[in-house]
A = this chain, B = another copy of it.
Amino acid sequence: MSRSSAVPGRVRGAGGFLTIDLDAVAANYRTLGTRLGPACECGAVVKADAYGLGLAPVARTLWDAGCRRFFVALTEEGIALRFLLPEARIYVFDGVDQDTTADTAAHRLIPVLSHPGQIETWATYARTQRTRLPALLQMETGMNRLGLSTGEAETLVSDAADIGALELDGAMSHLACADEPEHPQNAQQLDNFRNALAILSPLGLAAASLANSSGIFLDPAFHFDLARPGAALWGINPQPAGPNPMGQVVKLQGKILQTRTIDTPSAVGYGATHRVRRGARIATIGIGYADGFFRSLSNSASAFIGGIRVPVVGRVSMDLITIDVSAVPAEAAQAGDLVDLISPEHPVDDLAREAGTIGYEVLTALGRRFERRYLGGGTGS
């Protein structure tokens, strides 16, 4: 029954196989750079372990493709990246607090400062160290999440003491609705960001940054000096209403543990939510919600065998899913065979839609139990 020779590199009973195409990451980085043009530098957001794809291979690939500015969420992520890329400029979205000042400085991380308390903490630390420390300012422009208000920015400009202790790298803000190009909030945030830059102009900031992946596909007025794509680099469609300009990066396959032909009409899985007819064939796959294959994919996800759709039936279990493989010949779905869950005919955005979420969440949830394989490696340097 087992056909393990069909599975390259399979070891130790992993239930799923995740293939990450690093050449596609590099190609996507170049695509975004072309879209931005020469006036805007293209950075990369690699927080959350590069959205679940693996920080080390992804960051190295992007560096080789020419990326020099990287963004992470946490200090700890910045430290890990520093050991990988000694020369990169590394920004930490969550900024800095009294517990992280020393680590942030020691690893030459650039905190994104979003409120007066953070600015004061970082400036105070700089003064105690008798040095100037780098920072990027975050402006609130309409998301009400992180960032300085207009009033706080005005106060900051007039406060020579704290500003003098810092080497301000630039100012950024974040778009809430850039994946909906017609949303009125985009223009409003652009106006607010321009207004903030005018307030901050006495500080002589080097760089302004507003565009995330989706923002790169808005009008060039949103580009400014530095773009911060994440999702598009991994093949997520930055403008879901249109065709996807990005190349696919991720492939996920699950291993069939057992195939069964139903001899009596009966139910499948927890809660007996799906009934199967006599003669149907059910394959059980060694992937479940503990691997990030969301339980909301119960009775809704599509899988593919040789390009033919075979639906997930019944509830997603912790470590297992069941799929109805009646549509393919019995010999195409045997124990040991692989089933495509994310693939060219079923990209990550499609799986996300079946789960009622977005591709970003699917990627970051991809579990640690998969066997991972990396294809290519950027420019090969």
Evaluate contact between A319 and B99: CB separation under 8 angstroms.
no
How distant is the Cα of A13 from the Cα of B11 in the complex, in angstroms? 36
| Chain B contacts for A317, CB-based, 8 A | 145
- CB of B114 within 8 A of CB of A257, answer yes
A318:B74 contact, CB within 8 angstroms: no
Give chain B residues whose Cβ lies under 8 Å from the Cβ of A97.
2, 4, 13, 335-336
Which residue of the partner chain B has the closest CB to A45? B318
Q: A295-B358, A365-B365 are in contact. Are A286 and B12 (CB under 8 A)?
A: no
Q: Is A322 an interface residue (CB 8 A)?
A: yes
In the complex, chain B residues whose CB is within 8 Å of the CB of A266: 142, 144
A193 shortest CB reach to chain B, Å: 15
Tell me the nearest residue of chain B to A336, going by C-beta: B97
Asked whether, in the complex, the Cβ of B145 is within 8 Å of the Cβ of A176, the reply is no
> How far apart are the CA atoms of A364 and B317 in the complex, in Å?
12
A263 partner, pick from B100, B149, B263, beta carbons under 8 A: B149
- Known interface pairs A4-B99, A145-B320, A267-B144; A369-B76 also in contact (CB < 8 Å): yes
Task: Decide: A14 and B318 in contact? CB cutoff 8 A.
Answer: no
Q: Whole-angstrom distance from the CB of A250 to the nearest CB of chain B?
A: 16
- Tell me which of A29-37, A57-65, A88-96 binds B: A88-96
Looking at the complex, which of A164-172, A268-276, A325-333, A373-381 is the stretch in contact with chain B? A268-276
How distant is the Cα of A117 from the Cα of B2 in the complex, in angstroms? 7
Q: Which A residues lie at the B interface, using CB under 8 A?
A: 1-2, 4, 7, 10-15, 47-49, 51-52, 73-77, 79, 92-100, 103, 114-118, 120-121, 140, 142-146, 149, 176-177, 180, 183, 185, 257-258, 260, 262-263, 266-272, 276, 282, 284, 286, 289-290, 292, 294-296, 314, 317-320, 322, 335-336, 356-358, 360-361, 364-365, 368-369
11 A–B pairs (Cβ distance < 8 Å), ordered by A: A1-B121, A7-B99, A12-B99, A13-B74, A97-B336, A142-B266, A143-B269, A144-B262, A145-B284, A145-B317, A289-B361
